[in-house]
Amino acid sequence: MALDPQAAALLASFAGMPAPDYSRLDATSYRAAIAAGGGAASAIGPGDAIAAEEDLTLPGAAGPLAARLYRPIKAEDASDQALPLLVFFHGGGFVACGIDTHANICRTLAARARTLVLSVDYRLAPEARFPAAAQDAIAAVRWAAAHAAELGARPGALAVAGDSAGGNLSAVCAQQLRGEVAIAHQLLLYPVLDCAHEHPSYETYGSGHLLDAGLMRWFKDQYFEPQADRASPLASPLGAEQLDQVAPATIISAECDPLRDEGEHYAARLAQAGVPVTLVRWPGQMHGFASMLGVLDAASAALDLGARALRAALHL
């Protein structure tokens, strides 16, 4: 299927930009290019209005991590009961991005799901290689569950969410913390779920769709030491042997995305394990589309779907 017209127009705005030489690309340069933005990126919206944002720190696996708590505007018909808590992990290939780059997604989920959102700045590669990000994510969810009341959240009402690499970390948390932390739901937006293998969508959509296969390989090379076990469940949740009792999931894949197949295979494996799962393949969209609020209509629609799933799971 062809790209959605809005997605095609966005990609056209990037036409003419030189393709990076991945053999020479370094993380500092890549992050600088992301920060520079420009073009269509400057039109991306800030997300829904919320009541407050608070920067804080929490303990990671090897030291303090920056985080930000988003609080929605109280609805007129809302009770005085404390709100649930969503722990969010940003994408960026384990190498780039952070709290600020994904603030619009967090604001929108907070407003539409009527939940507090705690966005966590885990350690990035190559300065902190695998399994640093996974360990930080697990530590953050464990801490959030234990300190929910301190954050003003309702204890026992917790979910995880993330996009791309953040979807990987959310899935890792749901697997690794089952039986220890009650996670009501996992919302995975076009997640990275298999760092050990490339699926057919790498070939079909590996170039010309924003995230290309070469960039994805470069991300993995930054994240992993040469001898690292990329098939470990801490890296590749899709390959985990046991998936029973993992938190129910909503998985949103993008049709024109190299990562499409692994997300959809994960949905199938969860279903086979008896885990309630909803899979939605967004037609004509590319990787990262949910961040493009104000540019792609599909971004708002996908986050609306995710927010509804969270509200249902958290009994709002």
Determine the Cα–Cα distance for residues 252 and 189; give it in Å rounded to an integer. 5
Tokens of 44: 């991306």
Nearest to 170 by CA among 179, 160, 178: 160
Full strand arrangement of the beta sheet holding 52-59: 52-59, 64-71, 116-120, 83-89, 153-163, 186-189, 249-256, 277-286
Q: Which residue matches tokens 């937006």?
A: 189
Q: Of the listed 121, 163, 287, 300, which one is catalytic?
A: 287
Can 315 be counted among the known catalytic residues? no
Nearest to 57 by CA among 182, 151, 158: 151
Residues whose CB is less than 8 angstroms from the CB of residue 233 and which lie 6 or more positions away in sequence, other chains included: 172, 175, 176, 239, 240
Backbone angles phi, psi at 107, to 5 degrees: -60, -45
Q: Of the listed 163, 257, 261, 291, which one is catalytic?
A: 257
Determine the Cα–Cα distance for residues 132 and 163; give it in Å rounded to an integer. 18
Q: How many CA atoms within 13 Å lie on the side-chain side of 234?
A: 14
Cβ–Cβ under 8 Å, residues 167 and 144: no
Can 170 be counted among the known catalytic residues? no
Q: What sign for the dihedral angle of Cα 72, 189, 23, 131?
A: positive
Can 207 be counted among the known catalytic residues? no
Nearest to 168 by CA among 143, 201, 195, 150: 195
Annotated active-site positions, please?
A: 164, 257, 287
